[in-house]
Structure 1
């Protein structure tokens, strides 16, 4: 049984601006620990999957960063998208290339920029997910046990149909639901059968290709064109550039997962965080006696529940609460914590004012 992995690494991490930038996005930064987020993802996967079986889908801007940060990854395992088209085309293109190299493989699809504290628990769950995926051609996802009513995540609702596999509960999925408002999120938390959507999926390569054929025929046609062209033309990157623009801009959740019935979710508790915005630092770092997360050259008095990061120069604060202050070489961000999810609005304004040098 061959296990492969597809790491999605094309995002710009805009809610982590100004530290995450177009030329060096979040997944290539050291947010927590001694390695970048993508290096941590690779190291975690290598406890189960050989590096030659790990593929990274990214764009041309980041191919060199990947080669520099992960020098032992085979060059052919870097799959370059010419343009972002959401997760369905990413999965489709990767499945085509993997099916050619490893035709009987089971794919693990996951983001490049999530934190997982318990690697051993994660690998145990992945092994079980692979078993479930290979049984009756199931699709499997990992659901994070919610600990508070988060409105920034999608949710997965499970049914009462539960089986035990390797001492783990495996739930039949009822449906995927979009990001809720606070009241709805609280009802999900209270119900006990809703899980945060981790964006981690496991399935047999030929199974997901077959679902793409059934449910996303336009994308399937593009993939078949590429498959035939790959057999005769050695410049695969150019072929992908020529055809990828024809792909639909659609998520794998909407294109496949919301439309099929044989989906299972494994509830997980392994210290997961998607590090979606600056407020994630409250969850993944130690705080001082006043609830502050401090990094760098900081002097603070009467400062409470703030996230402050210095790039070298002294940041002095007095009498402030619930603020995010991030200083980089050319930009200083100051915003309230409740606006952390809206940092992308600043980037939109930068583009409007043609201040692209700060993006």
Structure 2
């Protein structure tokens, strides 16, 4: 017989069955644990539901406040200005870590800041989070900067956003913010307070001229420069500089791409105004974006010594420009704290830019001056010269043409800035800029056309009007257009341009 200690005693089993001190069986305990877990899940679901309701309520409040501020701005600009100085709401002028504002509801709320005229001495200063200084000086009593001309190069096909972006309707003509304004319209709105429509110039290709005029009815016809074919940024900006230098020899120009997203208008306008002051000292000035992560998709600017200008306390020399690095190099850049993203924004005297161009690219300089000399002549004369000269111009970015060699000689400055910035280079970056519920894909378009079950992340563009349903797939990019469908992953969205090439080679050029 086995010792009694090797098996449960009969008395203990009887005690358990009779409701004694150890009356809970293992099964009963497990059932209680499961009930507790179910109750916890129910509580969590209730919290999620309440959070969703709060987000909806907050969105409504933001909309009401925003509409109220627009009414105030229209009725009384001075009252709007006083309100904004006392502390603007975060959604109006957010100060996110660059380049991406990752708000769940209202990313990149852009507001047209009205021209403010006041006699108060305080109007000479605007709060700015730039660099090491709490204040940035403005030498004007209004937002308008005399002698400052805005140049907006509107080129490129945005191939990494295909098939949403097409050659005849590229991304700068699209509303990617779900606010009823295209990227070029948002750029116009943002810069108009500094220069007015009379001093805002757009350089674009012939395929986009009509749509740009439709989207920007206030753009003056003589300020829309049509380039016959793409020659990269140096030819586009150089053409504008050459024409504007003839119209106003003292012109200071600022070049800002038509297809970038910016959040934090106050910080942006402060940086531009500071860059103008540096440009007056004969510098080519760029605006450096504080990097939020070691991106391999952007070029970098290495900060040099401070310039020590009272009018531009944050300005520094550019030590060097760096091409898009690999991940390890980008990480080392971030760790030093001495690098900024190169956003391709340049501010300088038009004549100074032409001097740099004459020194580093004399053939390109001479060709652009020939075109500029007849730009305001009869259209036939201009077209004849353009047809003769433009095809022979070198295709080169402004960075390689003049910025890099000039930086080596200490003639390029940078204004470090903190506003949110993104060039919306692919569907992955676009997804980060769109609102979405937790663990749900971003939707660019009619959300009622997208039904998902157990789907997290990703972005869906229901452009065809068909219902799109997804089950159990994460981080997908689905772009459903009337004539074509793209399916990829966020991780490979940078490679979409490879598909564009294959589509062209396969004879589907009409879809591009």
TM-score normalised by length of structure 2: 0.68
Question: In the TM superposition, what whole-angstrom CA distance separates every residue of 1:250-282 from its partner, at most 9, and x where no partner exists?
Answer: 111001000012211111111111111111123
C-alpha contact 1:18 1:331 (8 A) present in aligned 2: yes
Question: In the TM superposition, what whole-angstrom CA distance separates every residue of 1:158-208 from its partner, at most 9, and x where no partner exists?
Answer: 124353655752121100010001111111111101111010000001100
Q: 1:329 aligns with which of 468, 473, 482?
A: 482
CA gap of 1:228–1:168, structure 2 versus 1, over 3 A, is: closer
Kindly report which structure 2 residues correspond to 1:258-277, keeping only aligned pairs within 5 A, or say none: 258-260=404-406, 261-277=410-426
Q: 2:501 aligns with which of 338, 348, 352?
A: 348
- Paired residue for 1:186? 331
Q: What is the RMSD of the two structures over their aligned residues, measured on CA atoms?
A: 1.6
SS across alignment from 1:111: coil
More strand by share: 1
Q: Distance in 1 between matches of 2:487 and 2:307?
A: 47
Q: Distance in 2 between matches of 1:232 and 1:330?
A: 43
Unaligned runs of at least 5 residues, structure 1: none
- Paired residue for 1:300? 452
SS across alignment from 1:196: strand
Q: Distance in 2 between matches of 1:258 and 1:289?
A: 43
- Paired residue for 1:214? 359
Kindly report which structure 2 residues correspond to 1:128-147, keeping only aligned pairs within 5 A, or say none: 128-135=274-281, 137-147=282-292
- Displacement of 1:83 in angstroms is 1.2
- Displacement of 1:227 in angstroms is 4.0
Kindly report which structure 2 residues correspond to 1:26-65, keeping only aligned pairs within 5 A, or say none: 26-32=171-177, 33-65=179-211
- Displacement of 1:220 in angstroms is 1.5
- Displacement of 1:354 in angstroms is 1.1
Q: Distance in 1 between matches of 2:305 and 2:334?
A: 16
C-alpha contact 1:85 1:248 (8 A) present in aligned 2: yes
- Paired residue for 2:371? 226
CA gap of 1:332–1:232, structure 2 versus 1, over 3 A, is: closer
Kindly report which structure 2 residues correspond to 1:1-359, keeping only aligned pairs within 5 A, or say none: 1-32=146-177, 33-135=179-281, 137-161=282-306, 163=308, 165=310, 168-230=313-375, 234-235=379-380, 236-260=382-406, 261-295=410-444, 296=446, 297-311=449-463, 312-359=465-512
- Displacement of 1:332 in angstroms is 1.2
SS across alignment from 1:156: strand
CA gap of 1:313–1:144, structure 2 versus 1, over 3 A, is: same
Q: Distance in 1 between matches of 2:377 and 2:171?
A: 37
- Displacement of 1:48 in angstroms is 0.8
SS across alignment from 1:343: helix
Q: Which of structures 1 and 2 has the larger relative contact order (alpha carbons within 8 angstroms, sep 6+)?
A: 1
Compare 199-208 and 312-321 and name the one that shifted more: 312-321
Q: Distance in 2 between matches of 1:187 and 1:20?
A: 34
CA gap of 1:322–1:97, structure 2 versus 1, over 3 A, is: same
Q: Distance in 2 between matches of 1:298 and 1:284?
A: 19
Bigger Rg, structure 1 or 2: 2
SS across alignment from 1:304: coil
SS across alignment from 1:175: strand
C-alpha contact 1:169 1:266 (8 A) present in aligned 2: yes
Question: In the TM superposition, what whole-angstrom CA distance separates every residue of 1:205-228 from its partner, at most 9, and x where no partner exists?
Answer: 110011111111111221232244
C-alpha contact 1:80 1:237 (8 A) present in aligned 2: no
- Paired residue for 2:95? none
Q: Distance in 1 between matches of 2:158 and 2:295?
A: 19
SS across alignment from 1:60: coil
CA gap of 1:62–1:232, structure 2 versus 1, over 3 A, is: closer
Q: State how many pairs are aligned.
A: 358
More helix by share: 2
Compare 117-126 and 20-29 and name the one that shifted more: 117-126
C-alpha contact 2:370 2:385 (8 A) present in aligned 1: no
Unaligned runs of at least 5 residues, structure 2: 1-145
Q: Distance in 2 between matches of 1:307 and 1:31?
A: 12
CA gap of 1:6–1:228, structure 2 versus 1, over 3 A, is: closer
CA gap of 1:322–1:164, structure 2 versus 1, over 3 A, is: farther
- Displacement of 1:68 in angstroms is 0.7
CA gap of 1:349–1:161, structure 2 versus 1, over 3 A, is: same
